[in-house]
């Protein structure tokens, strides 16, 4: 496949495949659905962070015979949510390890009676001492998980770190912290479940990974494959928050459906969704860096620790990605990364766009500016001296085989943002202005797809078939949740087959109908699954040439006619392909050596920030994002991903804080979990460079998560530029800025000149 | 959604007289609801204790804005959009129009009412600092008649006010004598829109020959209810705007406010930003005061 | 619904009447029932969404008597006699509204859950400010949260719709009910 060939549909701004339905109010989200005889379900949750359940009592004034009540004892299969490590119970059995942990489930046809009944379940506990922070968990007393509180650890080593310190002209240390972050998809989590002896379990829901839910249901119900069915409904935002959590919710609703004999809908309200579902892992990252007299990196030692919450969920893979993104786009001969994920008695943390990279990149890119300050070097110059180039090896000794243009990305970002001129201008103006302005940048990458041998392990299967009506149908388990899956995969199929965009449809994301093409995560859909669709289409053409007289080249009409001929002669017409790893991939999962990712997208982001010294608020006034992403399959969708990710990154840096008290989220309402509004987001300028990646769908690399990695460090670097004060933790709220800028001044003294 | 509509009675008698009769017949039993932007949030959260509600929405007497040569009388059920659109309010009471523009979204502004904002009595109420700066007067009505209370005396404590069990807040009167006053209003929230005030300061001052002849300062989120900063005013009244005056005013403000730590912010931050806002206002005053 | 799963008798509640998208409707529901729930459950107009139940996210926005309201904050009794427009009433006779066209062309909708409310807010804005500045667009949409787009393409869509509406000739009604982009 020639990634440089001109294309008609790939690269064109075709209308979003399901766009009209969304615009006229016809798109069907799970709470828009009803099933006949449907009941509602609710969850009784732990009110303490850790302890034993002493007793469960049911208020006698309620007629419990009207309700279905489900406990762990009702679970037919294993009381475990299948994911990576088998540690998370579907329902707590005798003990709880976090606030909001589900203990029992109730169902009733009347929502109001159900709500009353929730208040009628009285649980008494024998509390145990809880652990709430990385530091408390590190003390390993008490032990709250496994033998040592460690959910996972990695050690990545390259070269010889220990001997570098004595040779170094400069040694710079820093500690950086990132907070939890909530996805805040505007559609809350929800599912509807049905159960019958003949069909088994069926679940409709707002979810990213039908086959993850499928696997979880099989485990909890001990059912064979043909007795479990999962269907994704139109999903109102996900960002990783609907990667693993829906498995929990689906099992709950299905258990109620089975026991009640009715379909059961469970849709969380905002307060429950915020308090009880997964969030981004908080992290603490410590850097110690050795440099020579010219500011070239000699060695990096990094201790990266995340808070995983009470159960492992995806902590190991988040830690993996954090580890592999912790050293930045820089050449460094010696590296040691010691990464650990710690269990605490908080609501389990899970997947969120970036998946460990935002935490790691924040630390690395803040640290680069601290190094620059310590060495008296310009932050731009420091980076230039250390960028990776084609032919270098990175921290896992992966050879950078593809062309690399970090210098050019940096040049473009500086030029578009007028970085140097603005920095000088602000430096002059800030002295006389209570508003201090600054410019900051971040250089980073995001690995596309699953790490190392992950894609081989996923063993994705995907393809196309042709319907009796002559439509080509894309068969994938990858889901649309706003990012453009439907549009991009149909573009690829139409392009590869030489037909029109409107000739191609998506098969319903229903495990009864589509193969397992892997989860919709890790920025893999366009690159990995897109490539599978491309191959399957080429395979289909080959089949039609061989068996249905299709010529080469062919017109659209000839293709459709060949399909009709084939179907008439042979019945079904389909073409599926399995993932094939690009040749020569080497990855050692124990030593963390080799090709960590098949492809990287590269970026340089620049933020312009204003800090108001009357209110200590920081705002992003302008933002420039330059990235190299392989191939832009759809200019509007791609830019939309970058803009949306940057807005979330701005929230991560300056607005979004999860406030905990005794292990409970206290700001679990939209009024006090603060995301930026339409009046808060700056103009965002997006620029794409394209170096098509041979093994990606039409040359595409992943872009979904990249944009969330860069904003926070760029913004805090800009704040450092604006104020001269270094801030190393996010979210950086005005109260924190105040602490760093003015708290040392006696409050009686005037602030303004 | 945690509220149960079947557990609440809601009536709309449609006239002021009928509402007052109801409040008099069963004092303390009926909660007036205007735009619902507070009560319905509580309802959805399952926290609405009021079993019986009487709707003020659509009662014309309560939503008028009447202009006389001496004052503007704003009906308690006038919405914030009504205030923004009213020519005299926008021209002569710009702080109130400004506050109206940042009270939630356009959708909230079209339903939230001035009376509701005051009766809800949040210490962070957006309209309060402006009303305090404008020496607003509250008109209260019941079957027993009418009475007026300076707004600065309306709140008695955290979410407690002077209304008797059968009384309704009827109108807010603003005296039309601030055309030559210097005015200032600033709200500090968590973001530019849809934010509850962490701290807000409203001010009106008359400067003559560089001396402060009149000063009113109203603050939000610095006490259990919106407050006039009387000690700070006393430190400024009759003074020229020297550095010493500014320092004295800062000290007075610090001594009379009682900010707290809560889910949105900290006492220390609020205290510091409050004095910064005061100083920002005083510096503006000094700059403008030096102009004819 | 009662405990046996039977529908509750509507006769308990007096009728409340209003028009939705030009059609007269009447419901017998508790007067405190949220307009949002009446639209979705009683009238089966599920285009309007619930995102927060607090009046913060705007995904429940509808237009009531030519004002934008968060329908999660309106007790249905207060909608008596009102004229209500929901997203289902934006397209006319099978033709997409200029806003819907513009959102489709400019990427104003990603996951789509905020879109109905966003369209209502934008429609309200353009009805009163046909040529809004960027600041006016931001203000008009400040009560509608979008987590997917970062708002950039929503601003562009509204600005594009404003321009398009300007140059639009008066439309003839079309009989077809399928929606199509022009």
pTM above 0.90, yes or no: yes
| Residue B46 contacts A where some CB pair is shorter than 8 Å | yes
- What pLDDT, in 10s, does the model give residues B35-94? 999 999 999 999 999 999 999 999 999 999 999 999 999 999 999 999 999 999 999 999
- What pLDDT, in 10s, does the model give residues A10-39? 999 999 999 999 999 999 999 999 999 999
| pLDDT for position C166 | 78
**B215: number of Cβ within 10 Å:** 26
Q: Sheet holding A200-205: strands in order across? A: A68-70, A102-108, A39-45, A264-267, A190-196, A200-205, A228-232
- What pLDDT, in 10s, does the model give residues B211-231? 999 999 999 999 999 999 999
Give the span between the Cα atoms of A686 and A50, in whole angstroms. Answer: 46
Task: List, in sequence order, every residue forming a beta bridge with B214; answer none if it has no partner.
Answer: B206
| Residue A674 contacts B where some CB pair is shorter than 8 Å | yes
Subunits in contact with chain B (3 or more CB pairs closer than 8 Å) = A, C
Which residues, 6+ apart, have CB-to-CB distance to B190 below 8 Å?
A: A655, A672, A674, B196, B198, B264
- Chosen for mutation from B46, B107, B109 (greatest number of chain C CBs closer than 10 Å) is B107
CB contact under 8 A, A236 and C2: no
Give the span between the Cα atoms of C38 and C71, in whole angstroms. Answer: 9
Contacts A115 to B, Cβ<8 Å = 2, 4, 46
| Residue C58 contacts B where some CB pair is shorter than 8 Å | yes
CB contact under 8 A, B40 and C73: yes
Task: List, in sequence order, every residue forming a beta bridge with A600; answer none if it has no partner.
Answer: A447
Residue reference for tokens 């050692």: A588
Averaged confidence pLDDT in chain A: 96
Contacts 24+ apart (CB under 8 A), A414-421: A414/A380, A414/A441, A414/A606, A416/A606, A416/A624, A416/A626, A416/A685, A416/A687, A417/A606, A417/A608, A417/A622, A417/A624, A417/A685, A419/A380, A419/A606
Residue A506 — very low, low, confident or very high, per pLDDT cuts 50/70/90?
very high
* Residues C82, C18 share a domain: yes
Give the span between the Cα atoms of B17 and C170, in whole angstroms. Answer: 48
Residue A582 — very low, low, confident or very high, per pLDDT cuts 50/70/90?
confident
- What pLDDT, in 10s, does the model give residues C73-110? 999 999 999 999 999 999 998 899 999 999 999 999 99
Q: What angle do CA B174, B175, B181 make, to 5 degrees?
A: 105
Residue B79 DSSP label: B
CA distance C180 to chain B (A): 30
CB contact under 8 A, C146 and A186: yes
Domain termination site, one of C67, C89, C111: C89
Alpha helices (H) in A548-583, listed in sequence order? 556-570
| Residue C165 contacts B where some CB pair is shorter than 8 Å | no
Q: What is the dihedral of CA A320, A324, A325, A331, to 10 degrees?
A: 170
| Residue B273 contacts A where some CB pair is shorter than 8 Å | yes
In CATH, what is the architecture of A33-128+183-276? 2-Layer Sandwich (3.30)
CATH of domain B61-175: 3.30.465.10
**Rg of chain A taking only CA atoms, in angstroms:** 27
Contacts C161 to A, Cβ<8 Å = none
Is the distance from CB of C80 to CB of C88 less than 8 angstroms? Answer: no
CB contact under 8 A, C46 and A32: yes
| Residue C56 contacts B where some CB pair is shorter than 8 Å | yes
CA distance B222 to chain A (A): 15
A731 cis-preceded (ω within 30 degrees of 0) = yes
Q: Sheet holding A170-178: strands in order across? A: A150-158, A334-343, A297-309, A283-291, A170-178, A729-730
Residue A688 — very low, low, confident or very high, per pLDDT cuts 50/70/90?
very high
Q: Which CATH number do you get for residue C72? A: 3.10.20.30
Contacts A738 to B, Cβ<8 Å = 268-269, 272-273
Q: What is the mean pLDDT of residues A331-358?
A: 98
Is C122 strand, coil or helix? helix
Is the distance from CB of B166 to CB of B23 less than 8 angstroms? Answer: yes
A119 cis-preceded (ω within 30 degrees of 0) = no
Give the span between the Cα atoms of A574 and A270, in whole angstroms. Answer: 43
Each domain of chain A, given as residue ranges in start order, spans 19-28+454-578, 33-128+183-276, 283-388+400-450+598-741
Between C106, C115, C154, which is nearest A636 by CB? C106
Averaged confidence pLDDT in chain B: 96
- Chosen for mutation from B38, B56, B106 (greatest number of chain C CBs closer than 10 Å) is B106
| pLDDT for position B291 | 56
Residue C38's nearest CA partner among C2, C4, C78, C68 is C78
Helix then strand then coil, % of chain A, to nearest 5: 30, 25, 45
* Residues C71, C29 share a domain: yes
Please say whether the dihedral angle defined by the alpha carbons of residues A503, A509, A514 and A517, taken in this order, is positive or negative. Answer: positive
In a domain, C173, yes or no: no
- What pLDDT, in 10s, does the model give residues A260-272? 999 999 999 999 9
CA distance C101 to chain B (A): 24
| pLDDT for position A746 | 84
CB contact under 8 A, B188 and A674: no
Q: Which CATH number do you get for residue C129? A: 1.10.150.120
Each domain of chain B, given as residue ranges in start order, spans 5-55, 61-175, 182-289
In a domain, C21, yes or no: yes
CA distance A266 to chain B (A): 12
Q: What is the mean pLDDT of residues B166-177?
A: 98
Contacts A680 to B, Cβ<8 Å = 191-193
The answer on pLDDT for A334 being more than 70 is: yes
The answer on pLDDT for A664 being more than 80 is: yes
Percent of chain A's residues with pLDDT above 70: 99
Between A20, A669, A671, which is nearest C179 by CB? A20
Antiparallel, parallel or unpaired: β A617-628 and A599-612 = antiparallel
- What pLDDT, in 10s, does the model give residues A385-396? 999 999 999 999
Give the span between the Cα atoms of B273 and C1, in whole angstroms. Answer: 53
> What are the Cα distances from residue A397, in Å, to A37, A592, A628?
59, 9, 22
| Residue B130 contacts A where some CB pair is shorter than 8 Å | no
Domain termination site, one of C89, C115, C140: C89
In CATH, what is the architecture of B182-289? 2-Layer Sandwich (3.30)
Is the distance from CB of A340 to CB of A153 less than 8 angstroms? Answer: yes
CATH fold for domain B5-55: 3.30.43
Which residues, 6+ apart, have CB-to-CB distance to A519 below 8 Å?
A: A208, A209, A211, A212, A243, A458, A478
Nearest chain C residue to B38 by CA distance is: C73
Query: Quick check: do A19-28+454-578 and A33-128+183-276 share a fold?
Result: yes
DSSP string computed for A218-236: HHHHT--GGGEEEEEPB-S
Q: What is the mean pLDDT of residues A727-746?
A: 94
* Residues C112, C161 share a domain: yes
CA B15 to chain centre: 25
- What pLDDT, in 10s, does the model give residues A696-719? 999 999 999 999 999 999 999 999
Residue A307's nearest CA partner among A133, A469, A184, A464 is A133
| Residue C80 contacts B where some CB pair is shorter than 8 Å | yes
In a domain, C172, yes or no: no
* Residues C141, C109 share a domain: yes
| pLDDT for position A42 | 98
Contacts A669 to C, Cβ<8 Å = 52, 54, 56
Number of CB pairs, chain A paired with chain C, less than 8 A apart: 182
| pLDDT for position C174 | 33
Give the span between the Cα atoms of B249 and B237, in whole angstroms. Answer: 10
| pLDDT for position B289 | 66
Is the distance from CB of A446 to CB of A600 less than 8 angstroms? Answer: yes
Domain extent for C85: 12-89
CB contact under 8 A, C90 and A24: yes
- What pLDDT, in 10s, does the model give residues C128-181? 999 999 999 999 999 999 999 999 999 999 999 999 987 755 443 333 333 333
| Residue A37 contacts C where some CB pair is shorter than 8 Å | yes
CATH of domain A19-28+454-578: 3.30.365.10
Between A23, A639, A645, which is nearest C103 by CB? A23
Q: Is A283-388+400-450+598-741 CATH 3.30.365.10?
A: yes
Residue A402 — very low, low, confident or very high, per pLDDT cuts 50/70/90?
confident
CB contact under 8 A, B275 and A751: yes
In a domain, C1, yes or no: no
Interface of A with C in 648-707 (CB under 8 A): 648, 669-671, 675, 677-679, 681, 683-684
Give the span between the Cα atoms of B162 and A703, in whole angstroms. Answer: 59
| Residue B275 contacts A where some CB pair is shorter than 8 Å | yes
For chain C, what is the domain count? 2
């Amino acid at each position: 496949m020639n990634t440089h060939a001109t294309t008609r549909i790939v690269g064109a701004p075709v209308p979003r495949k399901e766009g009209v339905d969304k615009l006229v109010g016809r798109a069907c989200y799970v709470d828009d659905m009803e099933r006949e005889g449907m009941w509602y379900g609710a969850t009784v949750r732990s009110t303490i962070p850790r302890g034993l359940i002493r007793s469960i009592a049911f208020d006698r004034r309620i007629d419990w015979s009207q309700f279905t009540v489900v406990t762990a004892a009702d679970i037919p299969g294993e009381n475990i949510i299948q994911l990576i490590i088998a540690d998370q119970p579907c329902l707590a059995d005798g003990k709880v390890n976090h606030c909001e942990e589900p203990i029992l489930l109730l169902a009733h046809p009347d929502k109001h009676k159900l709500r009353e009944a929730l208040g009628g379940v009285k649980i008494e506990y024998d509390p145990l001492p809880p652990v709430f922070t990385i530091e408390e968990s590190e003390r390993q007393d008490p032990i709250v998980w496994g033998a040592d509180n460690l959910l996972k650890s990695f050690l990545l080593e390259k070269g010889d770190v220990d001997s570098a310190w004595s040779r170094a002209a400069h040694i710079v240390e820093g500690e950086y912290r990132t907070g939890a972050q909530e996805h805040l998809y505007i559609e809350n989590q929800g599912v509807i479940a049905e159960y019958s002896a003949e069909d088994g379990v069926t679940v409709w829901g707002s979810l990213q990974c039908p086959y993850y839910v499928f696997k979880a249901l099989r485990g909890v119900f001990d059912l064979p494959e043909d007795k479990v069915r999962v269907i994704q409904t139109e999903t109102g935002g996900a960002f990783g928050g609907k990667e693993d959590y829906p498995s929990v919710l689906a099992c709950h609703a299905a258990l109620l459906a089975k026991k009640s004999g009715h379909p059961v809908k469970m849709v969380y309200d905002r307060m429950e969704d915020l308090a009880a579902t997964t969030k981004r892992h908080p992290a603490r990252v410590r850097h110690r860096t050795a440099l020579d007299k010219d500011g070239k990196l000699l060695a990096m030692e990094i201790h990266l620790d995340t808070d995983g919450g009470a159960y492992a969920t995806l902590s190991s893979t988040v830690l993996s990605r954090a580890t592999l993104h912790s050293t930045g786009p820089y050449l460094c001969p010696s590296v040691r990364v010691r990464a650990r994920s710690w269990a605490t008695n908080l609501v389990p943390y899970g997947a969120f766009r970036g998946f460990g990279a935002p935490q790691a990149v924040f630390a690395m890119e803040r640290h680069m500016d601290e190094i620059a300050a310590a060495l008296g070097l310009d932050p731009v110059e420091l980076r230039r001296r250390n960028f990776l180039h084609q032919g270098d090896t990175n921290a896992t000794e992966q050879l950078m085989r593809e062309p690399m243009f970090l210098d050019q990305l940096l040049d473009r970002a500086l030029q578009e943002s007028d970085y140097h001129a603005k920095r000088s201008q602000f430096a002059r103006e800030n002295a006389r202005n209570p508003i201090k302005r600054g410019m900051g940048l971040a250089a980073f990458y995001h690995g596309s797809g699953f790490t190392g041998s992950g894609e081989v392990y996923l063993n994705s299967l995907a393809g196309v078939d042709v319907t009796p009506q002559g439509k080509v149908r894309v068969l994938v388990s990858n889901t649309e949740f706003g990012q453009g899956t439907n549009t991009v995969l149909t573009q690829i199929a139409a392009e590869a087959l030489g037909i029109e965009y409107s000739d191609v449809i998506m098969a319903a994301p229903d495990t009864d109908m589509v193969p397992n093409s892997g989860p919709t995560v890790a920025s893999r859909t366009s690159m990995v699954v897109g490539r599978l669709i491309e191959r399957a289409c080429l395979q289909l053409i080959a089949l039609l040439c061989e068996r249905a007289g299709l010529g080469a080249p062919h017109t659209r009409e000839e293709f459709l006619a060949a399909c009709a001929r084939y179907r008439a002669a042979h019945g079904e017409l389909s073409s599926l392909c399995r993932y094939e790893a690009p040749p020569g991939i080497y990855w050692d999962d124990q030593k963390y050596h080799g090709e960590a990712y098949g492809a990287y997208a590269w970026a340089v982001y620049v933020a312009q920030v204003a800090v108001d010294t009357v209110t200590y608020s920081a705002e992003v006034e302008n933002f420039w994002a330059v990235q190299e992403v392989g191939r832009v399959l759809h200019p509007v969708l791609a830019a939309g991903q970058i803009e949306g990710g940057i807005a979330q990154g701005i929230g991560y840096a300056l607005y979004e804080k999860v406030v905990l008290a005794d292990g409970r989220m206290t700001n679990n309402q939209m009024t006090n979990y603060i995301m930026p509004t339409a009046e808060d987001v700056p103009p965002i300028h997006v620029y794409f460079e394209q170096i098509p990646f041979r093994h990606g769908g039409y040359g595409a690399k992943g872009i979904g998560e990249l944009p969330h990695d860069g904003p926070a460090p760029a913004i805090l670097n800009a704040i450092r530029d604006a104020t001269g004060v270094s801030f190393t933790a996010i979210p950086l709220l005005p109260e924190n800025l105040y602490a760093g800028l003015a708290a040392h001044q006696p409050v009686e003294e005037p602030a303004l000149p | 959604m945690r509220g149960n509509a079947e557990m609440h009675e809601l009536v709309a008698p449609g006239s002021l007289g009928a509402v007052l009769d109801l409040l008099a017949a069963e004092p303390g039993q009926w909660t007036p609801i205007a735009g619902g932007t507070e009560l319905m949030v509580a309802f959805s959260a399952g926290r609405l204790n009021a079993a019986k509600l009487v709707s003020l929405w659509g009662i014309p007497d309560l939503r008028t804005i009447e202009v006389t040569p001496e004052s503007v009388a704003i009906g308690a059920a006038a919405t914030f959009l009504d205030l923004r659109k009213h020519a005299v309010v926008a021209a002569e009471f710009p702080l109130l129009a400004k506050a109206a523009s940042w009270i939630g979204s356009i959708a909230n502004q079209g339903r939230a009412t001035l009376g509701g904002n005051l009766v809800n009595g949040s210490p962070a109420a957006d309209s309060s600092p402006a009303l305090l700066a404008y020496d607003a007067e509250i008109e209260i009505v019941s079957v027993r008649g009418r009475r007026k209370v300076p707004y600065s005396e309306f709140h008695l404590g955290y979410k407690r006010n002077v209304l008797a069990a059968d009384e309704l807040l009827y109108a807010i009167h603003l005296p039309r004598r601030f055309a030559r006053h210097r005015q200032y209003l600033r709200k500090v929230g968590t973001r530019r829109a849809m934010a509850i005030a962490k701290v807000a300061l409203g001010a009106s001052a008359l400067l003559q020959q560089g001396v402060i002849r009149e000063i009113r300062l109203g603050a939000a989120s610095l006490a259990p209810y919106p407050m006039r900063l009387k000690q700070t005013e006393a430190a400024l009244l009759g003074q020229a705007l020297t550095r010493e005056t500014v320092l004295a005013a800062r000290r007075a403000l610090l001594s009379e406010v009682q900010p707290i730590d809560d889910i949105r912010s900290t006492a220390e931050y609020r205290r510091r930003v409050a004095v910064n806002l005061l100083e920002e206002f005083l510096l503006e005053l000094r700059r403008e005061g030096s102009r004819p | 619904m009662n405990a046996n799963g039977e529908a509750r008798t509507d006769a308990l509640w007096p009728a409340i009447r209003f028009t939705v998208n030009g059609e007269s409707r009447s419901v017998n529901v508790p007067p405190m029932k949220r307009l949002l729930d009446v639209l979705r459950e009683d009238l089966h107009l599920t285009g309007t969404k619930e995102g927060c139940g607090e009046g913060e996210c705007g995904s429940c926005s509808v237009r009531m008597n030519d004002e934008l309201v968060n329908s999660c904050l309106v007790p249905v009794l207060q909608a008596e006699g009102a004229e209500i427009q929901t997203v289902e009433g934006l397209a006319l006779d099978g033709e997409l509204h200029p806003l819907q066209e513009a959102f489709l062309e400019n990427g104003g909708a990603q996951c789509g859950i905020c879109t109905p409310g966003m369209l209502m807010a934008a429609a309200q804005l353009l009805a009163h400010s046909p040529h809004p500045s960027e600041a006016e667009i931001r203000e008009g949409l400040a009560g509608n949260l979008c987590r997917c787009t970062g708002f950039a393409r929503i601003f562009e869509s509204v600005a594009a719709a404003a321009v398009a509406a300007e140059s639009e000739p008066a439309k003839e009604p079309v009989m077809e009910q399928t929606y199509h982009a022009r």
